[in-house]
Amino acid sequence: MKRFGAFFRPSYAQKLSLVATVPLIAAVAAIAVLVAYQSRMLAEREIKALETQLLEAKKVELANYVTQARNGFYFIYGNAAPDDQDARDQVAQILSAMIYGTEGFFFVYDYDGTNLVSPRQTEMINRNWTGLADSEGTPITDEIIRIARSGAGYHSYLWPKPSTGEEARMITYVTSFPSWRWAVGTGVFIDDVLATVASARADVEERVQQTFFYIGMITLAALLAVFLTGMVLNIRERRLADAKLKKLTQRVLDAQEEERGRVARELHDGISQLLVGVRYALDTARRKLDRGDPTAAAPLAKGIETLGEAISEVRRISRDLRPGVLDDLGLGPAVKALTDDFSERTGMTTEFDTVVFRNRLDGEAKIALYRIAQEALTNIERHAQASHVRIDLRGHKKGATLRIEDNGRGMPDDTVGHGGGLGLRNMQERVEQLEGELIIAAPRAGRGTIIEVTVPLSHLLPPEPETPHQAKVSA
């Protein structure tokens, strides 16, 4: 299971691709569904309108057939008595002969449900069809008689086609001969209308599918463009990251070598010389003691004094590498000790000011600010030619700020604008790791330099209860 989860854990580039593609796919899918829905709704309205138009044309055609037929024998019906059987037979004969097309015919039912005329289906003549219904349960004979009794109208139902015997949808127009109690009508099959409507629906569905296909192709092209763009950007960013990593690695190695060289020089020039002095003093004292010389105490005291200086030098180097006061007392006392040592070593006038704040800095921020102060003082000692240095450390509502100001010769404009040498680049990288802000400026034209570092609130820990003594020394 762990292997499965690790296999499907997306990388950063894959997450970016998902962020870019998922909304695109969702938007395209929503658009496709909306387009398909709107297309189907519009097409359905058009198909309904077409179907209604075709059916109305069929109905008008049927009404004209019946009207023309009635006009053809109305002189017989109009002059006949209600019980004139000869007139009835003559009209029935005329209606039986009125067939048209391959399926069209006239039919007659009396109000009791008996079929009197059915030229294409003669087996139905003289039989009572009351209660006749189609395969869907739609009443046929009873509804035809009802429409005739009410005057005239249309009725739709399934009826076997005379040519094939298979059921098909039929529309009939029925009128009445009230004095004879006849329901007379004719019908047409509308399978051609239904076929036209079905063909229109199939065309709509085909167009919708084509629209889906085109949208899919456009989406695929967009996804390919996003993918290729992401690959290009990923490759480019990876190359830039690799180049930056190589530069950073080289700078780290250079910084390590520089620090090793500094420690080696201090050990050679400081501790080594002092220890050599101690060795010569002790050796001189030993020889004098061997001779019984009463002045042996002087070189021995000198050796003890030199050994004390060596111990102090070892402590100074150790403090430069990792100040214990930073962990024991906090950033404020550590920077204060660094400032005092700098003033004692260089002879420059230093001023350190801090405002005690109860929010404590985390370890990463403390180390970074201490190293920035150390690097700034080193640059001032080497390059600034200053006589006065002021360091200010305080907390505020935005976080914590370290400000270092000197009255030296200042920095060239290109150095300020482009990050300067290795020391200033190290400062910038430390501040970027803290997600803070580094400002390097000149307070006066051509004189002095201000270095200001602001650490955000995310690197401040919540306050803890402190004793009055701790409040004086914590920063």
Find the CATH number of the domain harbouring 453: 3.30.565.10
Q: What is the mean pLDDT of the chain?
A: 79
Say if 117 falls within a structural domain. yes
Minimum mean pLDDT range among 45-54, 133-142, 314-323: 314-323
Residue 329: the pLDDT is 74
For the entire predicted model, the pTM comes to 0.44
Bigger pLDDT: 27 or 404? Answer: 404
Residue 417: the pLDDT is 45
Residue 397: the pLDDT is 76
Residue 444: the pLDDT is 62
Task: Give dist(CA 117, CA 163) in Å, integer.
Answer: 18
Cα distances (Å, whole numbers) of residue 353 to 50, 77, 458? 91, 127, 24
Cα distances (Å, whole numbers) of residue 223 to 235, 262, 365? 18, 56, 43
- What length does the chain have? 475
Most confident of 35-49, 177-191, 446-460: 177-191
- Final residue of a domain: which of 189, 221, 251? 189
Residue 183: the pLDDT is 92
Task: Give dist(CA 82, CA 437) in Å, integer.
Answer: 113
Q: Average of pLDDT values for 66-93? A: 82
Q: Average of pLDDT values for 124-150? A: 92
**Does 469 score more than 60 pLDDT?**
no
pLDDT-derived band of residue 140, with 50, 70 and 90 as boundaries? very high
Residue 1: the pLDDT is 47
For 80-189, where are the alpha helices, taking DSSP H only? 85-97, 141-150
For residue 225, give both structure tokens. 């463009």
101 φ/ψ sector (left φ>0, alpha ψ -120 to 50, else beta): left
The answer to whether residues 73 and 80 touch, using CB atoms and an 8 Å cutoff, is: no
For 271-421, where are the alpha helices, taking DSSP H only? 273-291, 297-321, 324-328, 331-346, 363-379, 413-417
Residues paired with residue 453 on neighbouring β-strands, in sequence order: 402, 438
**Does 143 score more than 90 pLDDT?**
yes
Task: Give dist(CA 332, CA 352) in Å, integer.
Answer: 9
**Does 251 score more than 80 pLDDT?**
no
Say if 296 falls within a structural domain. no
Number of domains comprising the chain: 2
Say if 69 falls within a structural domain. no
- Final residue of a domain: which of 163, 189, 215? 189
Burial 158-167 (b: 16+ CB within 10 A, else e): bbeebeeeee
Say if 1 falls within a structural domain. no
Say if 359 falls within a structural domain. yes
Structural domain span for residue 185: 83-189
Q: End-to-end alpha-carbon separation of the chain, Å?
A: 49
Residue 374: how many other CB atoms lie within 10 Å: 17
The answer to whether residues 200 and 50 touch, using CB atoms and an 8 Å cutoff, is: yes
Pairing of strands 349-355, 388-396: parallel
pLDDT digit string (tens) for 336-354? Answer: 888 888 888 888 889 988 8
Instruction: Identify residue 94 by its one-letter amino acid code.
Output: I
Instruction: Report the CATH number at residue 127.
Output: 3.30.450.20
Task: Give dist(CA 423, CA 430) in Å, integer.
Answer: 11
State the maximum Cα–Cα separation within the chain, in Å, rounded to a whole number. Answer: 178
pLDDT-derived band of residue 6, with 50, 70 and 90 as boundaries? very low
- Final residue of a domain: which of 156, 189, 222? 189
Say if 340 falls within a structural domain. yes
pLDDT-derived band of residue 250, with 50, 70 and 90 as boundaries? confident
Say if 8 falls within a structural domain. no
* Residue of 310, 440, 456, 323 lying closest to 376 (CA atoms): 440
CA 415 from centre of chain = 41
For residue 473, give both structure tokens. 């020394």
Say if 425 falls within a structural domain. yes
